[in-house]
Chain A
Amino acid sequence: MIEKLQSLWPEITLLTAACVVMITGQSASAAVRRLSWSICAAALIAAGLLAYSTTAASGHALPHMAMYGKIVTCVVGLLLLLMVAGIADRAYEAEVARGKTVFDAIRATRGEFYAFFMFSLTGLMLCFGADDLVWLFLALELVSLPTYIMVATSTSKNASMEAGVKYFFLGALGAATFLYGFALIYGATGATNLVQIHSAFAAQIAAGGLNTIGIVGLILAVVGVSFKIAAVPMHFYTPDVYQGASASVSAFLAFVPKSAGFATIILLLSTVGWLPSSDYPSGALPMPVHAVLWVMAVVTMTVGNVLALLQTSVKRTLAYSSIAHSGYMLVGVIAGPGKGDDFASSGIAAVLFYLLVYGVTNVGTFAVVAAMQRQNRDGTHSEADRIEDLRGMCATNPMMGWTMVICSASLLGLPPLLGFFGKLPLFSAGISGGHIGLVVILGLNSAIAAFYYLRLAAYPLLESPDMAARTSNPITQVPVTGRWLAGVLSVVGVIALAIWPVTSAAKFGATYKTKVAVPGGQVAQGK
């Protein structure tokens, strides 16, 4: 019991920081209020260091995933923290600083915003380390509940409120679906512990076949969690919510709930394992689960990519691209851990690595939208969200323009960049698993995706700036350091991580054991 507590030090660090910033964000002193950001940054760094000493969960099918996931959470979390700087209270704090109004804690939202940010990351870490259905459910909700409020409060526009409400209600539907799935899994196995569920399923397979209730439970759970990863059939909210929320919060949504969802799907499917069959000698999921995931993967990536072609808003394009990337990653989930001991054949390692790749790259594209603002006719500013606004950005603002070019090329998967090294293992794992049809569709989809990613790259790079529009609605950089810094660091990551061999970390994180030890040796059998 005390060992379990010790593996939670990173989460406890983040939780403590969340509680502290909730208080400092209300302080009467502006210096203390500004400290909130630094407290979050310090806690994320400390949690990342503590996560290195996470001990492997013995008996677990994926003993090292927790450590990998927690470190990735901290790394991408720091990038996201840079991006969300200046969202909460920027206009209000400016008024207070000019002496127009006296600071009133009830009008400030800085403390809540950073606290929810940290709570959500805590939930993500807990998801990676989950070993029980109840824990998994609570962790998933801890990821999601703060994000609803972050979406609604991220701007003062009504669109954010609308996005928050949509996100909340559809999120409740998703949660109800996967909770029902969890309940059926419990009904089929009589256990909530993932290791015990694994043994119960193994006993059922040995006795002639999986329990139907268990299969239905797994399918419902996966479909419900598809809300978190923005996959078909629960992808409808994605473009509206990403567009309504501030670009920084959209980047947060594209990484944190998605990673939590994939951690959950991998943990759940590890209980039935990827079993070898005559069709798929290196292992496949039970037929009904396999079929559902196959359809989900194909439809998700096709819907995401085709609809992204039609968008004129950068954020909506990136939202559909986020849907498509979930489809790509589902290919890795279907391929499973593979038979060999190498990185190239393990689909789980590919997914875990792709989460890091997508997280780092995606921050860059959203950072460009967050860092640039367009002046409206009435003097107010709005985000430079139209693809038109990117026109000639490499000439007018080289730093942000090139960030957009490099990051969208990486999302496309152009060879020297990180995105290529992320996508390659998904292909190789699919091929070595024998899922040739799926890999062909993945390749076709990457070709469709080239169209809109190249448009995102060509507008800043090849087009010349539209001077008439620039004089009437000038596009300027938002005076918040964190936003452009996040974009630049993302570009550094896209280039550096492609050279630095971090794939071995993902391989370590995806260490998969087909035989798991049941604690206490007792398995509750249920029918």
Chain B
Amino acid sequence: MTTVFAAAELNAYLPVLLLVAMAVTFAIANLAASALIGPSRQGAIKSGTYESGMNPIGTARKRFNVRFYLIAMVFLVFDIEIIFLYPWAVTFPSLDQALADGGVWLGRIGFFLLTSIVAYVYGYRKGVFRFD
């Protein structure tokens, strides 16, 4: 049984580890500092639910319009699109010039984009963007 990870391989992750440690330390230090040196005055409004400056009214468990669900679904299409576009865009410049199959690669991503456009046309036809 050979070692799964050589120690040298882990060295590459040292900056990441340092960054994580810095982030954790920063958060703990700030919380600790404000608890230690900050003034502490409690009140009914101050200990209420923070609602971006608005007065909190009613329950948080309200029913949402089902359209939000449809919008979220349409948004997912965008999300998936960017997930595939990004690696494609990174790889595209490093294609072998001699093979000259750049056109095929462009055609593929074009076909993929076309399918997501179809998804949008479908959503439009279904009336997802109609708010009335």
A residues apposed to B, CB below 8 Å: 1-2, 5, 19, 22-23, 26-27, 104-106, 111
A210 to chain B, nearest CB (A): 22
| Known A23-B118, A26-B122; contact A106-B104, beta-carbon cutoff 8 A | no
CA distance A105 to B101 in the complex (A): 41
In the complex, A11 Cα to B10 Cα: how many Å? 45
How far does the alpha carbon of A111 sit from the alpha carbon of B121 in the complex, in Å? 12
* B118 in complex: contacting residue of A2, A5, A22, A27, CB < 8 Å: A22
Q: Does B56 contact A (CB under 8 A)?
A: no
Residues of B within 8 A of A (CB): 101, 104, 114-115, 118, 121-122, 125-127
List 5 A-B pairs, Cβ < 8 Å.
Answer: A1-B104, A23-B121, A105-B125, A106-B127, A111-B122
- Determine the chain A residues whose CB is within 8 A of the CB of B122 once the complex forms: 22-23, 26, 111
Whether B118 and A26, one on each chain, are in contact in the complex, defined by CB atoms closer than 8 angstroms, is: no
Contacting pair A19 B125 (CB below 8 A): no
Contact A2 B104 (CB under 8 A): yes
Residues in A neighbouring B114, C-beta threshold 8 A? 19
Contacts of A5 in B (CB 8 A): 104
A19–B118 CB distance below 8 A: yes
Which residue of B104, B115, B126 contacts A26 across the interface (Cβ within 8 Å)?
B126
Distance A2 CA – B118 CA, assembled complex (angstroms)? 25
* Additional pairs, 9, CB under 8 Å, beyond known A22-B122, A23-B125: A2-B101, A5-B104, A19-B114, A19-B115, A19-B118, A23-B118, A105-B126, A106-B126, A106-B127
B80, chain A: closest CB distance, angstroms:
14
Which A residues are in CB contact (< 8 Å) with B101? 1-2
Main SS of chain A's interface residues?
helix
- Number of A-B contacts defined by CB within 8 Å: 26
Those 3 A-B pairs whose CB atoms lie nearest each other, nearest first: A26-B125, A19-B118, A105-B126
Of chain B, the residue at the smallest CB distance from A26 is B125
Q: What is the bound-complex CA distance between A23 and B119, given in angstroms?
A: 9
CB distance from A443 to the nearest CB of B (A): 50
A1 to B104, CA, bound (A): 9
Q: CA A482 – CA B26 in complex, angstroms?
A: 70
Task: Give, as a whole number of angstroms, the nearest-CB distance from B122 to chain A.
Answer: 5
The smallest C-beta distance from B99 to any residue of chain A, in angstroms, reads 9
Cα–Cα, bound, A318→B53 (Å): 65
Q: How far is the CA of A104 from the CA of B126 in the complex (A)?
A: 8
A110: shortest Cβ distance to chain B, in Å?
Answer: 12
B27 to chain A, nearest CB (A): 38
- CA–CA, A379 to B101, complex, Å? 64
Chain A residues near B104 (CB-CB < 8 A): 1-2, 5
Contacts of A2 in B (CB 8 A): 101, 104
Across-interface contacts of A104 in B (CB, < 8 A): 127
Select from chain B the residue with minimum beta-carbon distance to A15.
B115
Docked complex Cα distance between A16 and B54 (Å): 50
For A108, the closest partner residue in chain B by CB is B126
Distance in angstroms between the alpha carbons of A2 and B103 in the assembled complex:
10
> What CA separation (Å) do A23 and B122 show in the bound complex?
6
Q: How far is the CA of A85 from the CA of B72 in the complex (A)?
A: 32
Which chain B residue lies CB-closest to A2? B104
Contacting pair A27 B125 (CB below 8 A): yes
| Residues from chain A with Cβ under 8 Å of B118 in the complex | 19, 22-23
Question: How long is the Cα–Cα vector from A106 to B122 in the complex, in angstroms?
Answer: 11
Closest to A19 in B: B118
* Alpha-carbon distance between A5 and B115 when the two chains are bound, in angstroms: 17
A259–B122 Cα distance when bound, in Å, is: 30
CA distance A455 to B6 in the complex (A): 70
Bound Cα distance A169, B104 (Å): 38
Q: Which residues of B contact A19 (CB under 8 A)?
A: 114-115, 118
Residue from the set B115, B125, B127 with the largest chain A CB neighbour count within 10 Å: B125
Please report the C-alpha to C-alpha distance between residue A5 and residue B127 in the assembled complex, in whole angstroms.
35
Q: CA separation between A22 and B118, bound complex, in Å? A: 8
Distance in angstroms between the alpha carbons of A288 and B54 in the assembled complex? 68
Chain B residues near A23 (CB-CB < 8 A): 118, 121-122, 125
Cα(A27)–Cα(B126), bound, Å: 9
* Whole-angstrom distance between the Cβ of A72 and the nearest chain B Cβ: 26
Complex Cα distance, B114 from A23, in Å, reads 13
